[in-house]
Structure 1
Amino acid sequence: MQDATLFQAMRRISVRTEGRSMRDVSREISAQLGEMGAGEGLLTVFIRHTSASLTIQENADPDVREDLLDALDRLAPADAPYRHSMEGPDDMPAHIKTVLTGPSLQVPVSGGRMLLGTWQGVYVIEHRSRPHSREIVLSFLGTRRD
């Protein structure tokens, strides 16, 4: 019988973005799950920024990601008359896009692997136009892999 003792593990990943983009971080997260010894449980993925966000999205056709970025630009255009503009015209729209898409995700884990669908990946969405270094926190709660 498998030992059902729960354990918690936490890791941080630094991700370099290239400006407005969606960057697949699934491999980096999977590698961290392996290092943690994760078995069965729940992974929380959290980005420590207010102008970048996370999503689970299509990982096969890059046109989907470009269309999503375009849709977010239409929802929060850079040329709207925002009050907050101290960090440039792309900053307030970035905050709005983060509110719409969110700073965290929960992903079930089984056998040490994220239970993503066939065409799903975990993405950092960079809402700013310049490259940035972004920090992601991973928190796993579950059992250890046999």
Structure 2
Amino acid sequence: MRQAVTTLTVPTRGAGLVEVTAQIRRWVAEQGMETGLLTVLCRHTSASLTIQENADPDVQADLLRFFRRLVAEDPSLYAHTTEGPDDMPAHIRSALTGVSLSIPVMAGEPALGTWQGVYLFEHRARPHRREIALHLIGE
């Protein structure tokens, strides 16, 4: 068994989904492992990760609208308000969607389905630079 680790830096434009599938696929291919397990971790508490359809951009727009309706940006609802009205809702959205993924690696690449992509889900209103840690174990 071998292991490899790296960190991706992902700039965001504010709230929304940023696809990182290509960067992940490229890094996994560079490791030369045929089979294994890839762990993907978002190193933040106000952004998250998700695997979603990557063929129709309406999916990402609908997800963003849904989460805005589900978790209100109303400071009167929260005690944690010092970082702005979008901060606590961002933490809640991150808790609902999760910050890590486990993806099998088969035939040297992440075993994603035909229409699946890996996305960083930015939950804050303003742009950020987010870090995603990758850990691959395999052979």
TM-score range, shorter chain: over 0.9
SS at match of 2:34: strand
- Alpha-carbon displacement from aligned partner over 1:76-106 (angstroms, at most 9, x marks no partner): 1112521101110000000000000000000
User: Counterpart of 2:28?
Assistant: 33
State the AA in 2 paired with 1:88. Answer: G
Output the amino acid matched with 1:112. G
AA at the equivalent of 1:53: S
CA shift for structure 1 position 38: 2.3
CA RMSD, Structure 1 to Structure 2 (Å): 0.8
Report the residue type matching 2:98 in the other structure.
Answer: G
Distance 1:7 1:98 in 2: 31
Structure 2: how far apart are the matches of 1:76 and 1:104? 21
Question: 1:19 matched to which residue of 2?
Answer: 14
Aligned to 1:102: 98
Question: Take 1:20 and 1:105, find their aligned partners in 2: how far apart are those partners?
Answer: 20
Q: TM-score, normalised by structure 2?
A: 0.96
Q: Secondary structure at the match of 1:86?
A: coil
Does the alignment pair 1:43 with 2:68?
no
Whole-angstrom distance in 2 between the partners of 1:26 and 1:20: 19
TM-score by length of 1: 0.92
Matched, 1:118 2:105: no
Distance 2:29 2:6 in 1: 11
SS of residue paired to 1:45? strand
Report the number of matched residues: 138
Q: Secondary structure, in 3 states, of the residue corresponding to 1:19? A: coil
Moved over 2 A (4+): none
User: Which one-letter code corresponds to 2:33 in the other structure?
Assistant: A
Tell me the equivalent position of 1:137: 133
User: Which amino acid counterpart does residue 124 of structure 1 have in structure 2?
Assistant: L
User: In the alignment, is residue 56 of structure 1 matched against residue 51 of structure 2?
Assistant: yes
What are structure 2's unaligned runs of at least 5 residues?
Answer: none
Greater C-alpha radius of gyration: 1
Unpaired segments ≥5 residues, structure 1: 1-5
1:74 aligns with 2:69: yes
